[in-house]
Amino acid sequence: MKTVLSKLSVILKKHSPMMIALSGGQDSLTLLAAAKAAGIPVVVATVISEFEVPGEAERAKEFCRILQVQWYPVHVRILEDAAIAANPIDRCYLCKKKIMGPLVEVAKVHGYNVCDGTHADDVPEERPGSAALQELEIRSPFVEAGIGKEQIMSLAKELSVPVIPPSSCLATRIPFGTVITEENLRRVAAAETFLHEQGVTGILRVRMIGDEAVVEVEAGEMQLASKHAVNLEQFGFSRVRVAGYISGGVTRWKQTQQ
């Protein structure tokens, strides 16, 4: 029976040489480690924008340094696009087109195929940006190999990739229909950084509902988050409450206001 790495390697070789869109999250880091282990010619590009979670780009850069892979930062001013800043339901699609389009063009000039870390367990309905990936002909080797999250975690362990809590861009903290500004992104990022500094290590989202902060953490860290929640008022929130983490939670909070 083929191992996960050998099965993935067959797919990776089809897309060689490749440029990996590296966010700094678990999936794309594992994809990069697998490409290196398979001997695939690979370079990396990381999009740096207002939506970036603090620390992710630096993590991507450091991982590339360790693996001795060429790393290219791609700076994009997303909020200059009024359609994206308006935060419509299809924001993720619009954003993905904006940030990945230039990356694809650069890759084509240099003869690279662009790949990302989307995997077989990702549900298209929960990842509207996946349509943009298809339109831009960005490959998702994990999907093509039928590899899901559990197998990625096993592969990460095999390849000594650090375990990283699932993350998503800062725009997901703002309810659809609420205009996204640099100021509200700054407040959300500052609040999350503060809670990390107080010891929260698992999944963390500070959702911004008006001037209220809804802190979402895993069950085992709710007590710790609750202890420090009141301190988030220093970041301009009039009220703070703590809840269990829910994927796509910003949509749920928006619905409760309607």
258 band by pLDDT with thresholds 50, 70 and 90: very low
**Helix spans in 115-229 (H):** 130-135, 141-144, 149-158, 182-197, 222-229
* pLDDT over threshold 80, residue 250: no
Calpha distance 34→47 (Å, rounded): 21
Calpha distance 211→233 (Å, rounded): 10
Is pLDDT larger for residue 123 or for residue 108?
A: 108
pLDDT (tens digit, 9 = 90+) per residue, 15-27? 999 999 999 999 9
pTM of the model: 0.90
Q: How many CB atoms lie within 10 A of CB 180?
A: 21
Question: What is the per-residue pLDDT for 256?
Answer: 43
Calpha distance 143→164 (Å, rounded): 20
Kindly list the distances between the CA atom of residue 55 and the CA atoms of 22, 61, 162, in Å, as whole numbers in the listed order.
13, 10, 14
* pLDDT over threshold 90, residue 90: yes
124 band by pLDDT with thresholds 50, 70 and 90: low
* pLDDT over threshold 80, residue 144: yes
* pLDDT over threshold 90, residue 231: yes
Question: What is the per-residue pLDDT for 246?
Answer: 78
> What average pLDDT does the chain have?
92
- Mean pLDDT over 47-61 rounds to 94
- Supply the DSSP string of 134-161, one letter for each residue: HHTT-B-HHHHTT--HHHHHHHHHHTTP
- Mean pLDDT over 63-80 rounds to 95
Percent of the chain scored above 70 by pLDDT? Answer: 92
Question: What is the per-residue pLDDT for 257?
Answer: 42
Calpha distance 101→180 (Å, rounded): 21
The neighbouring-strand residues paired with 212 are: 209, 239
Per this entry, what is the length of the chain? 258
Q: Any idea which residue has 């796509």 for tokens?
A: 248
Question: What is the per-residue pLDDT for 129?
Answer: 79
Question: Going from the N-terminus, what domains does the chain have, and what CATH number goes with each?
Answer: 4-158 (3.40.50.620), 170-257 (no CATH)
pLDDT (tens digit, 9 = 90+) per residue, 146-204? 999 999 999 999 999 999 988 899 999 999 999 999 999 999 999 999 999 999 999 99
* pLDDT over threshold 50, residue 223: yes
Question: What is the per-residue pLDDT for 31?
Answer: 98
130 band by pLDDT with thresholds 50, 70 and 90: confident
SS3 109: helix
Calpha distance 154→161 (Å, rounded): 10
254 band by pLDDT with thresholds 50, 70 and 90: very low
Question: What is the per-residue pLDDT for 115?
Answer: 98
pLDDT (tens digit, 9 = 90+) per residue, 95-107? 999 999 989 988 9
pLDDT (tens digit, 9 = 90+) per residue, 72-86? 999 999 999 999 999
